[in-house]
A and B are shown apart, each in its own frame.
Chain A
């Protein structure tokens, strides 16, 4: 492997990993705070891509404004989803299985609705950035570089929100003991809702940056949600930081695996790694305790 291929492979791994980190950290945030495994998280991606597409091509908004509008719309969708579907189930006793069934049902509902509304056609969002970055022998499209930069900014802002603000303190307290948080005046139910909005926003950022490189279709979230669940388990169930690290790690391992073998081996490598980690460290690579 030459130096240029090594750097390109590493960059590709970081870019793929950035998407996994964006999607996985959202799932981890929701699970860590509410103990809900949200199988409809991939549909937040799909809806964000469609929203950006419609706002830019049909409504004629500038691409960046369409992207911003799509992120806000999907965050609002996260609020509606949590209030209308999740919260009523959480209010009942013995909700753990029901919530899985409900989010799987919601995922299928949203895919089918998207298929009915927008059809099975495949569309693509225009590139945010044209051109190719050339650094000696290394060549990388700016659109792909932008995925990494935007993801790092979004994840960095989320980390600041979580660890440096009063709102973040509310989220972390609710995640560790919702009843205790409530006893001191933290509105845990509202925190749960805001966490769904934030997570949907992270998924939307990933989807919109990815949409110019992929086709926008009703099922576009499915492969990413599977990888994101792998990332969440690798990082330690419910750990926001662990999911980010695991996302980048998985992206890099996949990238080198594919370079050394072929793209057909991508999922074999990812899920093989997942099974190995579950055997050796069932509580995840970046968590020090079980459960």
Chain B
């Protein structure tokens, strides 16, 4: 369904991703885990067309989207929940969510909005409020709602748990499961190994812009290196 192969990315003279490859199959939840500065967010930016790779290919449903702008990728069935929500703070919650469905015909936007709001009933009383006035948790709900508006078959989520309380993290996790149960594949990144691989079917561990480990969620959680470095367990 989705494939990054041999991706290199540079910011000026600095290379941040090296020969990175990953795949997402239909209906899969895939986690990209790694420490700060490992290149996790860049992976999602490349996937969404917000950063052009200097080498490699981006494929979606058999089409080569490497040079395609984000607009074309949204039309093809991809969408994103951006890091730190990045709602449009001076626009209403309704407008923010509508913009998520920008590529849809107007009548369909209304239908999709009803479906999305059935997932996020807590947003209904705040639809006319400016997004900047919502709490952090409500903003994350609105950001996920916006990401779902374009009817994606692949939803990219850039650190969806960042800055949320443990209770809200559980709520977002439950939502991710529910979204996935409805047939949407998810590629997300996260710093917390337990959370990342606990939810995902498969995962990738990134260090300094390179994939250093990959496997099923359970395999990743059981891997001695992950247990030692990222879960803080003493070596056996």
Binding site for B on A (CB under 8 A): 93, 169-170, 172-173, 176-177, 179-187
Separation of A232 and B95 alpha carbons in the complex (Å): 26
Other than the given A172-B88, A184-B100, A184-B149, 18 more pairs (CB < 8 A) read: A169-B91, A172-B90, A176-B89, A176-B91, A179-B50, A180-B88, A182-B69, A182-B70, A182-B71, A183-B48, A183-B50, A184-B74, A184-B79, A184-B103, A185-B71, A185-B75, A185-B103, A187-B71
**Known contacts A93-B12, A180-B82, A185 near B88 by CB under 8 Å:** no
Listed by A's residue number, 20 A-B pairs whose Cβ atoms lie within 8 Å are A169-B95, A169-B98, A172-B88, A176-B89, A176-B90, A176-B91, A177-B88, A180-B82, A180-B86, A181-B99, A182-B69, A182-B70, A183-B70, A184-B103, A184-B146, A184-B150, A185-B75, A186-B71, A186-B102, A187-B71
Q: Please, which residues of chain A bring their CB within 8 A of the CB of B91? A: 169, 172-173, 176
Q: Please, which residues of chain B bring their CB within 8 A of the CB of A181? A: 88, 99
* Residue of A with least CB distance to B98: A169
Q: Please, which residues of chain A bring their CB within 8 A of the CB of B24? A: none
Check if B82 sits within 8 Å of A183, measured CB to CB. Answer: yes
Check if A185 sits within 8 Å of B82, measured CB to CB. Answer: no
Q: Please, which residues of chain B bring their CB within 8 A of the CB of A180? A: 82, 86, 88
Separation of A184 and B95 alpha carbons in the complex (Å): 13
Separation of A93 and B80 alpha carbons in the complex (Å): 25
Check if B80 sits within 8 Å of A183, measured CB to CB. Answer: yes
Report how many A-B pairs have Cβ atoms within 8 Å: 58
* Residue of A with least CB distance to B80: A183
* Residue of A with least CB distance to B106: A166
Separation of A170 and B103 alpha carbons in the complex (Å): 12
Q: Please, which residues of chain B bring their CB within 8 A of the CB of A93? A: 12
Q: Please, which residues of chain A bring their CB within 8 A of the CB of B75? A: 185
Check if B71 sits within 8 Å of A176, measured CB to CB. Answer: no
| Shortest Cβ-Cβ A-B pairs, 3 listed | A185-B74, A185-B103, A176-B88
Interface of chain A, helix or strand or loop or mixed? helix
Report the count of interface residues on B (CB-CB < 8 A): 25
CB < 8 Å: which of B86, B95, B98 contacts A177?
B86
Q: Please, which residues of chain A bring their CB within 8 A of the CB of B95? A: 169, 173
CB < 8 Å: which of B82, B88, B149 contacts A173?
B88
Separation of A213 and B233 alpha carbons in the complex (Å): 82
Q: Which one of B48, B71, B150 has the greatest number of beta carbons of chain A within 10 Å?
A: B71
Q: Please, which residues of chain B bring their CB within 8 A of the CB of A185? A: 70-71, 74-75, 102-103, 150
* Residue of B with least CB distance to A176: B88
Task: Give A235 Cβ to nearest chain B Cβ, in Å.
Answer: 15
Separation of A158 and B204 alpha carbons in the complex (Å): 49
Separation of A143 and B174 alpha carbons in the complex (Å): 66
Q: Please, which residues of chain A bring their CB within 8 A of the CB of B88? A: 172-173, 176-177, 180-181
Check if B50 sits within 8 Å of A184, measured CB to CB. Answer: no
Separation of A170 and B95 alpha carbons in the complex (Å): 10
B residues 7-60 near A (Cβ < 8 Å) are 12, 48, 50
Separation of A182 and B79 alpha carbons in the complex (Å): 11
* Residue of B with least CB distance to A174: B88
B residues 117-168 near A (Cβ < 8 Å) are 146, 149-150
Task: Give B183 Cβ to nearest chain A Cβ, in Å.
Answer: 21
Separation of A126 and B210 alpha carbons in the complex (Å): 70
Q: Please, which residues of chain A bring their CB within 8 A of the CB of B12? A: 93
Task: Give A169 Cβ to nearest chain B Cβ, in Å.
Answer: 6
Separation of A221 and B37 alpha carbons in the complex (Å): 49
Separation of A180 and B100 alpha carbons in the complex (Å): 10
Separation of A183 and B88 alpha carbons in the complex (Å): 12
Separation of A186 and B104 alpha carbons in the complex (Å): 12
Separation of A169 and B109 alpha carbons in the complex (Å): 14
Separation of A183 and B75 alpha carbons in the complex (Å): 11
Task: Give A190 Cβ to nearest chain B Cβ, in Å.
Answer: 10
B residues 155-200 near A (Cβ < 8 Å) are none
Q: Which one of B80, B88, B146, B149 has the greatest number of beta carbons of chain A within 10 Å?
A: B88
